[in-house]
Amino acid sequence: MTLAGLSGISMCILMTHLNEIYCDANASHPLLPLVSEKLSEAMNEQSWLLSNPSSIHQRGQKAKSLVYLAKKLLIEKIGRADAEEIIFNSGATESLNSVIQSFQDSGDCVFTTNLEHSAVIEAVEASKASVREIISVDSKTLWIDEEALFEKMDSLRSQQGQRRFLFVLQLGNNEIGSIYPLESFLDRLRSYAREHGIDDQTFVLIDCAQSLCKLDDAVLRKVLYHCDYAAFSAHKIGALSGCGALWLRSGVPYQNVFYGGAQEKGRRPGTSNIAGIYSFYIALKYWSANQDALMDRLTQLRDHLYAGLLKIPGMTFHAFSVEKKSSFLPNILNFKVKDCPDESLLLNLDLHNIFASNTSACHSGTLQASHVLKALNLSDEEARSSIRLSLSILNSFEEIDTVIQTLQESVQRILENRKNAEVLFPEIISQ
């Protein structure tokens, strides 16, 4: 599909600062042109968009019906029927925290992995659940040892007292793009739970912040069929940040974090972020109407980037390989280049107005090495010198060519500088 074929996209490219190339969509996808158009229309008209959906006057009721429409769209996208199973909130971090905090009774066991976003890992670490386990994935298969996990469950079940199990797992990784083999694992987990009579005490929360709209709806639905909760984020699909949603299957445990209002049936009090919800609705509608074309476009952009980067000497991709590309999100590559230390490449890109990152946005701005890359057995230094390029549907092939060329030239310059320094200061460089 050509760029012009995507409604609104070409217009946005014109609106984008011509000298800037944004390749950090997993931190925040740029606002979709259609979203910004619809938002400004609504703001300029001072319409119902600015109203409080809890008010009983006409404007409030219009805003309320928009909230309902947005819930309906999301619930249908994930293959469920009851819009009341959706709670709008401030984003995936809130959804993940609120569910994890709902499992703090004695006897609660919360399992997650070391590849998760810090919103999960830190919430599990802070939890008062009696068992909190952050399982290390195998650095090659990028998955857990299922046998060991079921043995652990056997042992916990054999101990006295009532147990509730919560598994918190992501579908698509924000830093390396890997997709967990959740369909087969969840099948197995549910069979195990049924066999041992603990199906109604076994719960699964899926972090879908990066996978909504970037995976086939059918895959998402199959995974969520076995789950109880899912966390979504509006700004990862080109809507406003500070808005997201939690899906929770009717009747599952849930303890609201806030008190003080009847919004979302008291499950998430506080005035609804109506502008955020509207932007989420528009973005979701846009992706849904163009789903296959947008996925194809992201895949083609990523493949084009991969082919170009492969030619750079010393290039190593983290986790990703072409043979296994169906097990990765379509828009991301994470890599390092031999002998390009620290943030040198990232800073070079920044000097050329190419925006990328070397870790999750929550940790960038610090010199911390990514815990995800360290889980792949990279050293601190290797993790810090790695680069994540995450593409958006607004990137063009010309931009990708510029990124490749800039990286090639930057690597060459860094290596030449290093060679010169080796001649001038051999004892320092060899250290």
Ligand X SMILES: Cc1ncc(COP(=O)(O)O)c(C=O)c1O
Alpha-carbon 355 to chain mean position: 18
Is 92 a binding residue for ligand X by CB under 6 A? The answer is: yes
Comparing CA positions, the residue from 69, 409, 98 lying closest to residue 247 is 98
Could you say which DSSP state residue 75 is in?
H
Is 361 a binding residue for ligand X by CB under 6 A? The answer is: yes
Write out the two tokens for 139: 């650095």
Is 273 a binding residue for ligand X by CB under 6 A? The answer is: no
Is 85 a binding residue for ligand X by CB under 6 A? The answer is: no
Is 164 a binding residue for ligand X by CB under 6 A? The answer is: no
Q: Which stretch binds ligand X (CB under 6 A): 85-93, 187-195, 302-310, 382-390?
A: 85-93
* Residue of 89, 233, 358, 385 that binds ligand X (CB under 6 A): 233
Judge whether 115 and 372 are in contact, CB under 8 Å. Answer: yes
Q: Which stretch binds ligand X (CB under 6 A): 86-94, 250-258, 307-315, 324-332?
A: 86-94
Using the minimum distance from each CB to ligand X, give the nearer residue, 31 or 92: 92
**SS3 state at 335:** strand
Judge whether 322 and 305 are in contact, CB under 8 Å. Answer: no
Judge whether 138 and 145 are in contact, CB under 8 Å. Answer: yes
# of chain residues touching ligand X (CB under 6 A):
14
Is 371 a binding residue for ligand X by CB under 6 A? The answer is: no
Q: Which stretch binds ligand X (CB under 6 A): 207-215, 264-272, 302-310, 422-430?
A: 207-215
Site string for ligand X, 288-327 (x = CB under 6 A): ----------------------------------------
Judge whether 376 and 14 are in contact, CB under 8 Å. Answer: no
Using the minimum distance from each CB to ligand X, give the nearer residue, 112 or 170: 170
Q: Which residue is nearest to ligand X (CB)?
A: 91
Write out the two tokens for 351: 């000097």
CA distances from 210 to 62, 116, 175 (A): 30, 12, 10
Is 210 a binding residue for ligand X by CB under 6 A? The answer is: yes
Alpha-carbon 115 to chain mean position: 12
Residues contacting 197, CB < 8 A, separation 6+: none
Using the minimum distance from each CB to ligand X, give the nearer residue, 174 or 201: 174
Cβ burial of 219 (10 Å; 0-12, 13-18, 19+) is middle
Using the minimum distance from each CB to ligand X, give the nearer residue, 73 or 361: 361
CA distances from 92 to 189, 230, 278 (A): 24, 9, 17
Smallest separation (angstroms) from ligand X to the CB of 91? 3
Smallest separation (angstroms) from ligand X to the CB of 112? 12
Judge whether 104 and 127 are in contact, CB under 8 Å. Answer: yes
User: At 165, which helix (H) or strand (E)?
Assistant: strand 164-170
The Cα diameter of the chain in Å comes to 77
* Residue of 207, 264, 382, 399 that binds ligand X (CB under 6 A): 207
Q: Which stretch binds ligand X (CB under 6 A): 87-95, 160-168, 325-333, 398-406?
A: 87-95
Site residues (CB under 6 A) for ligand X, limited to 95-134: 117, 119
* Residue of 209, 215, 239, 394 that binds ligand X (CB under 6 A): 209
Is 244 a binding residue for ligand X by CB under 6 A? The answer is: yes
**Interaction site with ligand X (CB under 6 A):** 91-93, 117, 119, 170, 174, 207, 209-210, 233, 244, 360-361
